A and B are shown apart, each in its own frame.
Chain A
Amino acid sequence: MGTRSCGHICGESSPGIGEAGITGDWRDYRPVIDLEKCTPSRKNKPSCFQCWLYCPEAVISKTIPVEVNLEYCKGCGICAQVCPAHAITMVPEQGRGSSQEEVG
């Protein structure tokens, strides 16, 4: 089936999770969180959440422990940069563009 049935005649979208497709397969580096260092996990209190606040894709949860939705995480690394506890490391995905195996 072709795309005609979507009914659009120009580029059009509505807000929704995954509207832009599975953007996780853009990722070259994956954020890995060390929960021994992560403040909310270490203190078992809702605190810090700088990664949740700064994530431009809103794929980090404000939970204990903090979780990253790898289906949509593009691997920008902002979370690793802003983490005051240095709990996040950006780990290369196995082979560029092969990250699709890791998601879903």
Chain B
Amino acid sequence: MDKIETIQIIDGNQAAALGAKLSRVQVIAAYPITPQTPVTEALSEFVERGELDAQYVAVESEHSALAVCTSASIVGARAFTATSSHGLAYMHEMLHWAAGTRLPLVLACVNRAIGAPWNVQNDQQDSISQRDTGWIQIYARNNQEILDSVIQAYRIAEKVYIPVMVCYDGYILSHTEMPVSVPTQKDVDKFLPKYKPHTILDPKNPKNYNLVTLANPRLNAENVLCHGYMEIRYLLQEALQNSRETIIEAGNEFGKLLGRNYGLLWKDNMDDADIAIVAMGSLALEAIVASDMLREEGYKTGVVGLRVFRPFPGREIAEVLRGARTIAVFDKNISYGLEGATCSEIKSALYGSGVNAVIRNFIVGLGGRNVAARELADAVKKSLSPSADNTLNKECPEWICYI
């Protein structure tokens, strides 16, 4: 085992697997799917070689994978899974069970388009489609962030008892090698305390979790007034709202120990910017290239990268976009019939904040369509001219495609 932090040239999937290994996960259940497969391969090798003291459970589906992780977590084990696209969709029911039971699972979602039509390449439709399941969602912009975020995810999840999805772009990150600082086990152990479950199944103190819970509160056998369904759901929302501080605290503590700070979002060149480009994941890195091009042409542009999508950092977004007069939001997903998901959230975050900027939404890069910095830059420039009907905001998003 390495005594000092080493730089390794690894792809995003290896970074995720290493993050899970360094977090000393005890149970792994996953089903292979492109482009996540190498994560499962790497983890099964760690277990097989005796480098990781964990039980690797081979399952017949993603639904079962998350069911195994849920059960393992209830009895007090630190559990991990990874998936993509249709696999995540197949987990949908269990995503709700894990969050509703407040189990601190970590799931690596290697972002891939979802059918139909069939496609194995990248966009963020898979995880965005799961945004209302009550999971925290973190989006990494590079392989370093994948590794660091998996480790932080356990600290966050086990403090607030909410499962965390660490999302990263398929192929663009999952299959692209780049230098990654790998922390020592000793440092990770210092950062990550042992998992203390709020649930525990013990024959000496039998308990039943997720019993039929009716609408109204009930008096239990000991005459204690227990939650109805709605109170339990309220507590999940309350915990998500309050988790922002824990996410920030984990990011700061990680920075103190390992020199890399993390927050809810990040910004580049925003100090004097009146044009803001907003995006999530690796797309936000491409936006920096576009922004630098525009700076050279004399535009005052900057980039805001969303790291945490749930809980949505509305206050922080409004604060960082305070000086913007034009906001171009690029989405690698769409809520059909409306617009890109991040654009909707940003609009709602700005309501009542005093920011009265033009907001334009562009749908890009679906199903692995290449996103060139030049295209992003041209779209930003397009946002600067008034729309045909001279209104501030367009009702519908614009698509950067060949239709």
Contacts and interface: CB of A to CB of B under 8 A. Distances in A.
B contacts with A: majority SS: loop
B221 A3 contact: no
Given A3-B226, A6-B224, A8-B226, A20 B211 contact: yes
Interface in A2-31: 2-6, 8-21
A41 B213 CA distance: 39
Q: How many interface residues does chain A have, given as a range?
A: 20 to 34
Contacts of B391: none
Interface stretch (B77-85, B135-143, B201-209): B201-209
Contacts of B207: 12-14
Interface of B: 100-102, 161, 198-199, 205-214, 217-222, 224-228, 231-232, 235, 239
A103 to B, nearest CB: 14
Interface residues of chain A: helix, strand, loop or mixed (majority): loop
B231 A3 contact: yes
A44 B225 CA distance: 43
Given A19-B220, A19-B221, A21-B219, A6 B226 contact: yes
B221 A11 contact: no
Contacts of A12: 199, 207-209, 211, 226
A82 B214 CA distance: 30
A8 B218 CA distance: 13
B220 A13 contact: yes
Contacts of A20: 211-212, 218
B221 A10 contact: no
A19 B220 CA distance: 4
B226 A10 contact: no
Nearest to A21: B218
A82 to B, nearest CB: 25
Contacts of A1: 225
A14 B212 CA distance: 13
A16 B227 CA distance: 17
Contacts of A8: 226-227, 232
A13 B102 CA distance: 15
25 contacts: A1-B225, A4-B231, A5-B224, A6-B227, A9-B198, A10-B100, A10-B101, A10-B198, A10-B199, A10-B209, A10-B210, A10-B232, A11-B100, A11-B101, A11-B213, A12-B199, A12-B207, A13-B207, A13-B211, A14-B220, A16-B220, A18-B219, A18-B221, A20-B211, A21-B214
Contacts of B212: 20
Contacts of A4: 231
Contacts of B239: 9
